Homo-oligomer: A and B are copies of this chain.
Amino acid sequence: MNHSPTPLRLHRETVRPEWIDYNGHMNVAYYLLAFDHATDAVLDHFGIGKAYAEGEGRSMFAVEAHLTYAHEVTEGDGLTFTSLVLGADAKRLHLFHEMRHEEDGFLAATAEFVLLHVDLAERRSVPLAPETAERLTRTVAEHATLPVPPQAGRSVGLRTPKGA
């Protein structure tokens, strides 16, 4: 049987009351918190999440993040996440997530992260275990056959929007 690659679907979340700001919608920072939970789910999937940090004394630290905010969400909304592994090397991981409204299906936001593998005692970067790096590299190759999200690799600025 053929195996068709798909994005990882490992996380869902409900918008909490304390995530709402004076504009009456989920605050920018809590989009990132929800995306961080989705990142944790991906890290758990590859055996490098919270349990790994607590058991092995090594963890993944974010060094860079890029978010695009496409649509408001509000208290009680269900959110679902899909995740792509866009890149990996001996120490680093490049993830991309989409957040969608669970009921209505619209894209709410995207997030792109680069994470670095760190020794928690020394607080400095160290290589991933070779088997983890290999498994990540295989996933990068699988996900490379999927369409590249238009929000990936973009930089922030006041360029003129497409079609404007």
Contact = CB atoms under 8 A, between A and B. Distances in A.
A129 interface: no
24 contacts: A22-B54, A23-B59, A23-B61, A23-B120, A28-B32, A28-B36, A28-B113, A29-B30, A29-B32, A29-B36, A61-B69, A64-B69, A65-B66, A65-B69, A72-B123, A86-B157, A88-B158, A89-B158, A94-B156, A112-B156, A113-B156, A114-B158, A153-B156, A155-B155
A12 interface: no
Interface string A139-164: 00000000000000111111000000
A28 B59 CA distance: 14
Given A29-B33, A87-B158, A64 B67 contact: yes
Interface string A106-146: 00000011100000100100000000000000000000000
A29 B28 CA distance: 9
Across chains A and B, which 10 residue pairs bring their CB atoms closest together, nearest first? A29-B33, A155-B155, A87-B158, A29-B32, A66-B156, A28-B62, A65-B67, A32-B32, A112-B156, A66-B66
Question: Secondary structure at chain A's binding surface: helix, strand, loop or mixed?
Answer: mixed
Given A29-B30, A32-B32, A36-B28, A65 B23 contact: no
Nearest to A60: B23
Given A64-B67, A89-B158, A94-B157, 7 more contacts: A22-B59, A28-B36, A28-B62, A63-B69, A65-B66, A66-B67, A113-B156
